Structure 1
Amino acid sequence: MASIVFMVVAAAAPLTVVGGVTPMGFSVGNGVGFPIMFLVSAGILVLFSIGMSQMAQRIPRPGAFFTYIRHGLGETAGASAAMIAIVTYLAAPLAALSLIGEQLRLTVVHLGGPDIAWWVYCLVTVALVGALGYRHIDLSSKVLAILLIAEVGIVAVLVGVVFAVGGAAGYSAAPFSPNMILSGEVGVGLTFAILGFVGFEATAVFRDEAKDPARTVPRATYIAVTSIGLFYAISAYGMVVAWGAEDIVDESVRDPAGLLVNTTSHYLGAIGATIAQALFLSSLFACVLSFHNVTARYFHALGQSDILPARLGSTHHRHASPHMGSLTQTVLCLIAIVIFAALDVDPIVQVFAWMGGITTFGVVLLMLLTSVAVLVYFAKDVNTNSAWLTKVAPGLGLLGLALAAFLIVQNFPMLVGGSPTLAYSLLAVFPGAAAVGVIIVARRGKRRTLQSEEPTAGAATKA
């Protein structure tokens, strides 16, 4: 269970969220009340996870989201969800890769090194991540555990020092005030908060590698969601105390990208700020590695489900890893980075914003469809023991996710940093991916029909 929890929490990239998402929540979200949005998001995701965990105990070979959607809503819906998932989990590491590539370029230049294109660092990162992802999850888990402990540790030390000295103006109750929580752009704040949890759903994908999945996966999910939510909320509140309730929003607006490093420099000195910057880079690497493993296992599951070529469903004889899925993910990332380089797009303003927006909406959409599938599945099951576990909690989770999806679409132009035309053109990738799933199922059904109509060799001889 520890390996799965580490993989999931690392995918959420805690230091990246504290240093990147949190300042945006303060500056363009609901201001001082933003820390509570992390707790609201965690509550929605726990309610969602309850229904999914109950369904997992009743269906054969539960795992990725498309599995639940297929059992609840049918084969076509499942295949469409699978294609949506592939798009989502290809976009996630690309967003992190563009950011880590540009950050490495700037860091090397700052240290007096050569100014090498950002995409070169991306290609090197993809190669290293591919080598780790090709092997068993335990190797990736050990790497992620070290990086995760380090990045959580620096934030814990920072927040601890801030609380110990009382920050800029002492402790403040402002973030807990209903007026502050509902101030500003509450919808934008909730959208950014949910973005911080992207990756928690990986617990379902690693089910086949758990020793006791019926117990391990639900526990890992609840532990991951609650620990992530509490960590983010406490860290965000620490930022409020560090700068003061009256100044945190202005500081976030003035320098959102530098809020974490500036805070660390003020309370832990120059050495602390340097460590924070280094761990920020390692946090991004951990994010890429975790999403690589998730996507590889999606390819593996789809290969075993006859949605994609069966070869993708094979397992390495020595590493017991989905090696073909890992290789496929590595090649696709390499191709995408080369295309971005050829198009000469900006790694932050364009690649990071576009891919991050696609990832956020894609994950929420998949959870929304899964919630519907859970409710439909249990509506047909008369042997369910608890209405709370199979109907009420999943229903509340569905309402929360529907609200989140609406808010994301409404604020999507801001999320991707472009015009409404660009924003909704990017969102069009999801109905396109769903259509591919419909075509795959239709062609597979046609192929099976033709095969069933073919005369056997014995029948042909007899004729």
Structure 2
Amino acid sequence: MTTNAPTHSSAVSDGTPRRLAGALGPGAIVFMVVAAAAPLTVIAGTVPLGIAAGNGAAYPASYIVCTVVLLFFAVGFTAMAKHLPGAGAFYTYITQGLGRHAGLGSAFLALLSYTAVQGAVYGYIGAAVNDFVTAHGGPELPWYVWALAVTAVVAILGYRHIDLSGKVLGVLLVCEVGIVLVIDAAVIVRGGGDEGFSTAAFHPAEFFSGAPGIARIFAIAGYIGFEATAVFRDEARDPGRTIPRATYLALLVIGGFYALSSWAMVSAWGDEGAVAVATENPEGMITETATRYVGAIAGDLVQIFLITSLFAALLSFHNVLSRYIFSLGNSAALPAGCGRSHVKHASPYIASVVQTASALVLIVASAVAGLDPVTEVFAWFAGVSSVGIVALMTLTSVAVLVYFGRTRVDRRAWNTVIAPLLGLVGLAGLLIMTVANLPLLVGGSSTLAAVIGVLLIGTFAGGAAVAVLRPHAARHDTAASQQIDTALPQHDTNDTIIDKEIAR
């Protein structure tokens, strides 16, 4: 996963460290990204909804489609990563391809989208912990009490060196993936349910039955955060190789796991039986499957690991968000203090504190408003995030095409034109479906969907306004990055050599 290496910091003229450090390999970064995807949460929560409201027993094929689209996207994404020294992910790519105004607009949209999904998960984990505690004879407490307790733990881990978060996420991820794979194996060994293995996902007619658009929306939500591989560039052991490998590996692991596990879930109940169970008891489908095929203990473990899965997602999103804030602090789009790194931990500690504060605001505001943690906090905030993230990926695809068309720094047609264009077409289709079905994602309210749309557009416009009001903002990807690099202590390390080569 990771190896320990001496960390180094850099400083600008005020002597403040403004560079992150670490020795993350592809495995550690994949752990971060897959943990953010919350695989058990997806299997327990999203898959039953996709089966019930989407295209029924053929739903597992939706993950194959989404994986293929995102792999096309990743080809251009990783090709462009080799030419950008920054660690801002969507923000950095869109800035380089489409300019400062679109770049800062996307940066603020990314902050809103990831903060929203983090708020959604805090609502879900608060309810999940309370349900688990009360089911085992413990006291019943408001969901936000548990959410605040989890916030404190995430804040401590997010403040410290990234290697610590990587180790924690590795352990939690093994547990949640392990229990699902045990269930999958049990279903496969027994030959599925009474009807045998499901074949619905392999028939085009079944795939396009029901509401395939809704199925694709639920499926794409399981990949939120996969592009965060680029966010950890400064903390990667060998960025030029680590980031592309981690990106492709994360997509294949996520897509393969979802497709296999959702297919096993359908096979466990049969095509019609799976739709019936997913419709009648979506939140308990994975627990019932575990109990039926593995035993009562497996059912209890699913409940426990669901909580740890949610916690792992929160920690991953916290790390991603704090690095977005760190990047914006160093670009003058946010106060300069946000761009400071800790002298000892080489972490974006001030950005981490800011992110913790934003999470607290969401939790407290939701509690004061009396929102239900699942049907309102989780559903509404997740709806905001789904639209925002798909829009960002679509903009990034356009930015990749424009960047390579303008600079000609890479003349490989497949990497810079064909694959990115195929990814753009697929993502644009997903975006249209997501926007069209946004009312369904937020409980059927057209008014709330309209409010969310205005909020997303307004946030993007606000970022663009910052670019107008602060002409010096978002120019750190070139001059500022070089200034930081020259301030580095001159050690003959592979990381330093690679960073300089990429910066050139």
Q: Does 1:438 align with 2:433?
A: no
Question: Which AA in structure 1 matches 2:108?
Answer: M
Q: Does 1:77 align with 2:102?
A: yes
Q: Distance in 1 between matches of 2:219 and 2:310?
A: 18
Superposed CA offset, 1:14-34 (max 9, x none):
000011111011100011111
Deviation at 1:188, TM superposition (A): 0.5
Superposed CA offset, 1:20-56 (max 9, x none):
1110111000111110100110111111111111111
Gaps of at least 5 residues in structure 1 are 449-463
The 8 Å contact of residues 387 and 434 in structure 2, kept in 1 or not, is answered as yes
Aligned residues: 448
Q: Distance in 2 between matches of 1:207 and 1:306?
A: 20
Partner of 1:58: 83
TM-score by length of 1: 0.95
Q: Distance in 2 between matches of 1:76 and 1:382?
A: 23
Deviation at 1:411, TM superposition (A): 0.8
The 8 Å contact of residues 126 and 330 in structure 1, kept in 2 or not, is answered as yes
The 8 Å contact of residues 88 and 324 in structure 2, kept in 1 or not, is answered as no
Q: Does 1:16 align with 2:44?
A: no
Which segment is superposed worse, 318-327 or 239-248? 239-248
Q: Does 1:420 align with 2:446?
A: yes
Deviation at 1:172, TM superposition (A): 2.8
Q: For 2:380, which of 354, 357, 367 is the aligned residue?
A: 354
Q: For 1:305, which of 311, 320, 331 is the aligned residue?
A: 331
Superposed CA offset, 1:230-286 (max 9, x none):
000000110121111231111111111110001001011111100011001110000
Q: Distance in 2 between matches of 1:352 and 1:383?
A: 43
Q: Distance in 2 between matches of 1:383 and 1:288?
A: 37
Which segment is superposed worse, 279-288 or 373-382? 373-382
Question: Which AA in structure 1 matches 2:443?
Answer: G
Superposed CA offset, 1:193-238 (max 9, x none):
1011111111011111001111100110000001100000000110
Q: Distance in 1 between matches of 2:199 and 2:471?
A: 60
Question: Which AA in structure 2 matches 1:306?
Answer: A
Which segment is superposed worse, 427-436 or 115-124? 427-436
Alignment of 1:149-168 (within 5 A): 149-168=174-193
SS of the aligned residue for 1:445 comes to coil
Q: Does 1:249 align with 2:258?
A: no
Q: Distance in 2 between matches of 1:62 and 1:299?
A: 11
SS of the aligned residue for 2:471 comes to helix
Q: Distance in 2 between matches of 1:237 and 1:214?
A: 36
Question: Which AA in structure 2 matches 1:361?
Answer: V
Question: Which AA in structure 1 matches 2:176?
Answer: E
Q: Does 1:429 align with 2:455?
A: yes
Structural RMSD (CA)? 1.3
Gaps of at least 5 residues in structure 2 are 1-25, 475-504
Q: For 2:53, which of 20, 28, 41 is the aligned residue?
A: 28
Question: Which AA in structure 2 matches 1:145?
Answer: G
Deviation at 1:106, TM superposition (A): 1.6
Deviation at 1:59, TM superposition (A): 2.9
Partner of 1:237: 263
SS of the aligned residue for 1:183 comes to coil
Distance 1:332 1:242, change over 3 A: same
Distance 1:390 1:249, change over 3 A: same
The 8 Å contact of residues 63 and 208 in structure 1, kept in 2 or not, is answered as no
The 8 Å contact of residues 8 and 202 in structure 1, kept in 2 or not, is answered as yes
Partner of 1:223: 249
Partner of 2:352: 326
Q: Distance in 2 between matches of 1:147 and 1:62?
A: 26
Amino-acid identity (%):
47
Partner of 1:67: 92
Deviation at 1:380, TM superposition (A): 1.0
Q: Distance in 1 between matches of 2:448 and 2:62?
A: 28
The 8 Å contact of residues 404 and 410 in structure 2, kept in 1 or not, is answered as yes
The 8 Å contact of residues 56 and 271 in structure 2, kept in 1 or not, is answered as no
Deviation at 1:182, TM superposition (A): 1.0
Q: Distance in 1 between matches of 2:303 and 2:192?
A: 22
Deviation at 1:446, TM superposition (A): 8.8
The 8 Å contact of residues 176 and 306 in structure 2, kept in 1 or not, is answered as yes
Partner of 1:182: 208
Partner of 1:48: 73
Partner of 1:451: none
The 8 Å contact of residues 331 and 473 in structure 2, kept in 1 or not, is answered as no
Q: Distance in 1 between matches of 2:408 and 2:144?
A: 55
SS of the aligned residue for 1:115 comes to coil
Distance 1:385 1:104, change over 3 A: same
The 8 Å contact of residues 129 and 292 in structure 1, kept in 2 or not, is answered as yes
Question: Which AA in structure 2 matches 1:25?
Answer: G
TM-score by length of 2: 0.87
The 8 Å contact of residues 151 and 280 in structure 1, kept in 2 or not, is answered as yes
Question: Which AA in structure 1 matches 2:27?
Answer: A
SS of the aligned residue for 1:257 comes to helix
Q: Distance in 2 between matches of 1:27 and 1:318?
A: 50
The 8 Å contact of residues 56 and 62 in structure 1, kept in 2 or not, is answered as no
Distance 1:310 1:447, change over 3 A: closer
Superposed CA offset, 1:401-460 (max 9, x none):
000000001111111113111112112111111121122112212999xxxxxxxxxxxx
Q: Distance in 1 between matches of 2:116 and 2:87?
A: 24
Partner of 1:102: 127
Q: For 1:266, which of 292, 306, 314 is the aligned residue?
A: 292
Structure 1 residue runs of 4 or more that deviate by more than 6 Å after TM superposition: none
SS of the aligned residue for 1:112 comes to coil
Deviation at 1:62, TM superposition (A): 4.9
The 8 Å contact of residues 62 and 68 in structure 1, kept in 2 or not, is answered as no
Deviation at 1:389, TM superposition (A): 0.6
